[in-house]
Amino acid sequence: MNKAKMLRELFKKDGVIKIIGAHDGITAKLVELNGFDGVWASGFEISASHGVPDANILTMTQYLEATSIMNDAVSIPVVADCDTGYGNSNNVIHMVKRYEAAGIAAVTIEDKRFPKVNSYIPGRQELAPIAEFVGKILAAKNAQQTKDFMAIARIEALIAGWGQEEALRRAHAYVEAGADAILIHSKSSTPDEIMRFAKAWNFSVPLVIIPTTYPMITLEEINKLGIKMVIYANHGLRASIKAINEVLSEIKREERLDTVDSRIVPMSTVFELQGMTKMKEDENIYLRSGEEPIKVIIPAAGAPHNQESLEPLLQDTPLAMLDVHGKSLLQRNVETLNKSKLYDISVITGYKKDAFTVEGVNYVHNSKYSSEHILRSIMCAEDKMDGKTLIIYSDILFENSLIERLRSVESDLVIVVDNSFSKSLERNKKLDLVVTREALPEGGRILTYGRLYTVAKIGSTFLEEHRGAEFIGITMLSKRGVEIFKKEYHKALAEYGNNPFFEAGNVFQASLTDFLNYLIELGYDVKALQVNSGWMEIHTFDNYRYACSTAKSL
Ligand code: SPV
Ligand code: MG
């Protein structure tokens, strides 16, 4: 339904139509979100938002542009304050064509002389002769192209001090000329003169009021007077000026930002109002590049476990949210992934889930994190795995060069391994060891040319002399790899259930490495990409200190 029709329907329904002033897209959205029936595209607000008086200083095009921005931002009707119609009847004809074409539901024109001045400004409030204004209404009604578009005639006789009789005389003439509603304006500090006018009103044409100076009038009283529409003209603008002023003066005074935090909305609220969520959804569908999209899953659910020296730091914080020189581990990894244009990142939370504050990722909660392990956490994001997927442990830091190397790999199931781990062993940690069928090149300097090695076995309990490398916690699954992963996972669940599953007590407690072993035993080809730098784990306090000092020196 077009918006003019929507407004007409509102006029047909019982009760008072409530519209409120706005001047830009975001205030218009707030009007809609707060449940008002429509937006009042206030000339006073639009002028003020340009920093100029409400006295036809702006041109019609400027008012129309602001009004269209509001109209485009909302799905409710917009009633445009068109002052005197921006000139004589010729200007009114042009104005109606332009506003109607822009999808505005209704225009109001007031019976003052162009250029007008805001009704609350004492002094010059010059009324147009009745005949002149009747001509404008005729011009407006004749210019409109669709039947539902409304022209509301605004009477300024009470504002100009010409009294009730003149107001009623004008109102009758404007109804005769075809006005769709009569806006009777008053600057009295009580509703008395409006009440008198409304009580004397015996036409079926609806009445509209703007109770700015008699704010004590209730909606119920308005309804009882038979007034059909109320315009709360400018409260949004005035609220925002007060709020902005207070916050700005405090920032100036305090010379810092955090003291005003509780009085401002988070950025996320602005993003939401701007329609960022919808834009992101659209991007997922329409924004395409030649590259295959890659999903990222970061299981970060686990509570501290076997990390004695770090545990005091992990009382209230999951490891992924540990601060590494001013940014959490997760924030750093998300930025690294973003650098490689990977934005579809799902983080599985569990332990201390409320501590996860990194923005720009999807959070999926594994409520059974205390009895389940990484494999189950990964599968909490199963529905996200619908194409090439990277699984990255949350307790490592890595450079995006690793991601770039993985991106060019053509295999279905690939893990990243490092065999420069004699130092890691000294770090007293249970490693995920990897044995490859072919020997990995050894030494500090290696050239692999992206060669992949076949994984024979992976786990932490087999003999060290068999070890070839260490799994660093990054796995890449191709689209087919994802299909294999999901299919075999469900089979494993069905077949093993609560029975021992490789090095784990059962499938629920299985690590990713148990599952990779399972895939290898089933005959799938799991490949290893060898690296010997560009990452580090955070398992001990020493690791953590090293990570902080590295981050500091960057
Ligand atoms: C406006 O909001 O611009 C109005 C209402 O026209 S008033 O300020 O009361 O004139
Ligand atoms: Mg106005």
Per-chain mean pLDDT for the chain: 93
Instruction: Tell me the best of 19, 27, 42 to mutate to test the pocket of ligand 1, counting ligand atoms within 8 Å of each CB and taking the most.
Output: 42
pLDDT, residue 429, reads: 58
Task: With a cut of 60, say whether residue 356 has pLDDT above it.
Answer: yes
Q: How far is the CA of 150 from the centre of ligand 1 (A)?
A: 18
Q: Alpha-carbon distance 17 to 25, whole Å? A: 21
Split at pLDDT 50, 70, 90, the class of 169 is: very high
What number of other Cβ atoms are within 10 A of residue 243's Cβ?
A: 12
- % pLDDT > 70, the chain: 97
Cβ(119) – ligand 1 distance below 6 Å: yes
pLDDT, residue 235, reads: 98
Domain ranges of the chain: 3-233, 275-552
Residues with active-site annotation: 54
Q: Alpha-carbon distance 454 to 42, whole Å? A: 70
- % pLDDT > 90, the chain: 82
Atom of ligand 1 nearest to the CA of 233: 2
Q: Which two tokens stand for residue 504?
A: 């784990």
329-341 per-position pLDDT tens digit: 999 999 999 999 9
Whether 3-233 shares its CATH topology with 275-552 is answered no
Average pLDDT over residues 387-413: 94
pTM: 0.75
Atom of ligand 1 nearest to the CA of 212: 9
**What distances in angstroms separate CA 57 from CA 43, 48, 50, 52, 60, one per listed residue?**
10, 11, 10, 7, 10
Whether the link from the prior residue into 115 is cis, omega within 30° of 0, is yes
Tally the residues of the chain: 554
pLDDT, residue 75, reads: 98
Average pLDDT over residues 10-23: 98
94-124 per-position pLDDT tens digit: 999 999 999 999 999 999 999 999 999 988 8
pLDDT, residue 464, reads: 58
Q: How far is the CA of 154 from the centre of ligand 2 (A)?
A: 10
Q: Give the least confident one: 12-21, 112-121, 219-228, 463-472.
A: 463-472
Select from 347, 381, 371, 375 the least CA-distant residue to 489.
375
pLDDT, residue 312, reads: 85
Architecture of domain 275-552 in CATH? Alpha-Beta Complex (3.90)
Task: With a cut of 60, say whether residue 425 has pLDDT above it.
Answer: no
Q: H or E element: which one contains 362?
A: strand 362-365
Instruction: Tell me the best of 46, 50, 81 to mutate to test the pocket of ligand 1, counting ligand atoms within 8 Å of each CB and taking the most.
Output: 81
pLDDT, residue 422, reads: 59
Task: With a cut of 60, say whether residue 182 has pLDDT above it.
Answer: yes
CA-based end-to-end distance of the chain: 58
508-551 per-position pLDDT tens digit: 999 999 999 999 999 999 999 999 889 999 988 888 998 898 88
Nearest C-alpha to atom 2 of ligand 1 is from which residue?
A: 42
Q: Which is higher by pLDDT, 291 or 135?
A: 135
Mention the CATH class of domain 3-233: alpha beta
Nearest C-alpha to atom 10 of ligand 1 is from which residue?
A: 119
Q: Residues lining ligand 2 (ion), CB within 5 A? A: 43-44, 81
Q: Residue 361 corresponds to which amino acid?
A: V
Q: How far is the CA of 204 from the centre of ligand 1 (A)?
A: 25
Q: H or E element: which one contains 107?
A: strand 106-110
Q: What is the DSSP string of 273-308?
A: HHTHHHHHHHHHHH---SSPP-EEEEE--PPP-S-G
CB-neighbour burial class of residue 520 (10 A; exposed 0-12, middle 13-18, buried 19+): middle
